[in-house]
A = this chain, B = another copy of it.
């Protein structure tokens, strides 16, 4: 509640081109003058440059490059995705937090964001580097009413949402997707997505889609530096994390609501393939039954990777690991 009022007031002064009077804020949100004044003081203490002028009101001159629940909620443009933000300065893993909150009944569209993770997770139990202040670590709670076998497609929707935001915001950067769920800049990994679900075989309890984005890192540890990058490293300047988060929520909400109609990715094949780095390249599929190579042609309506084998036949890869020649050390 407190966070919500704070976000509301911040949104009001952020979106206004003129001063916003204290009385107007009181009337609009049904709170006292003292409450408004306290929120303004808090925001100023957090680094928001808010000018207060007698008889005119408040104006936001600048805002700090820090993440917070109120900062994010005051900037969201969505109907349901990310409208409730649970922000943590530091946590073990936003996916674990989101799974816990989902078990407790948290709404569809609730978003957990952390400034740092101490035990960030990647797919299949791997780790994810999550230094304070430099990355985006967020997990979206979803309660879809479709069958668990559709959940893999949510990963693709999130990948294409991130790719769209990054290529719209930073038009000079070469943004790609490595099937199914890595987003790359200049052929190095900048984003990973981890979708987890709690389900009965024919009924999803909840899905948590976690997103890790390397944003303002200036360097990476040896061994990772060859395959990973950050937006700052590629762009040459720090960027605003909140803007990316807000953008991803906006795209994801739009795509999810379309996806809900057909329950396949037929509406997204074209845009997904336009980012797909695997496309037209030689790939190696690490199938549990045996590795094989071929040329990736794109995805099908189920989100599977279509691979043309040397003998001309086609294999549709539903899951597992796929390497792309020239990417991540597969030469």
- A contact set with B: CB distance below 8 Å: 123-124, 145, 147-149, 151-152, 154-155, 194-203, 205, 288, 318-320
Q: Is the CB of A201 within 8 A of B147?
A: no
Contact among B124, B196, B200 for A196, CB-based, below 8 A: B200
How many subunits of this chain does the assembly comprise? 2
- A41 CB to closest chain B CB, in angstroms? 42
Contacts A149-B148, A319-B147; A197 near B199 (Cβ below 8 A)? yes
CA A203 – CA B203 in complex, angstroms?
17
Q: Is the CB of A202 within 8 A of B148?
A: no
Contacts A147-B319, A148-B148, A149-B148; A124 near B197 (Cβ below 8 A)? no
- A291 CB to closest chain B CB, in angstroms? 17
Q: Is the CB of B152 within 8 A of A201?
A: yes
CA A56 – CA B285 in complex, angstroms?
65
CA A152 – CA B149 in complex, angstroms?
11
- A179 CB to closest chain B CB, in angstroms? 12
CA A199 – CA B207 in complex, angstroms?
9
Q: Is the CB of A203 within 8 A of B147?
A: no
- A141 CB to closest chain B CB, in angstroms? 15
CA A151 – CA B288 in complex, angstroms?
18
Q: List 25 A-B contacts (CB under 8 A).
A: A123-B203, A124-B200, A147-B318, A147-B319, A148-B148, A148-B149, A148-B151, A148-B197, A148-B199, A149-B149, A151-B201, A152-B201, A152-B202, A194-B200, A195-B201, A196-B198, A196-B199, A197-B198, A197-B199, A197-B200, A197-B201, A198-B198, A199-B199, A202-B319, A203-B319
Most buried by B among A151, A201, A288, A319: A201
**Neighbouring B residues of A194 by C-beta, 8 Å:** 200
**Neighbouring B residues of A203 by C-beta, 8 Å:** 123-124, 319
- A168 CB to closest chain B CB, in angstroms? 27
- A207 CB to closest chain B CB, in angstroms? 9
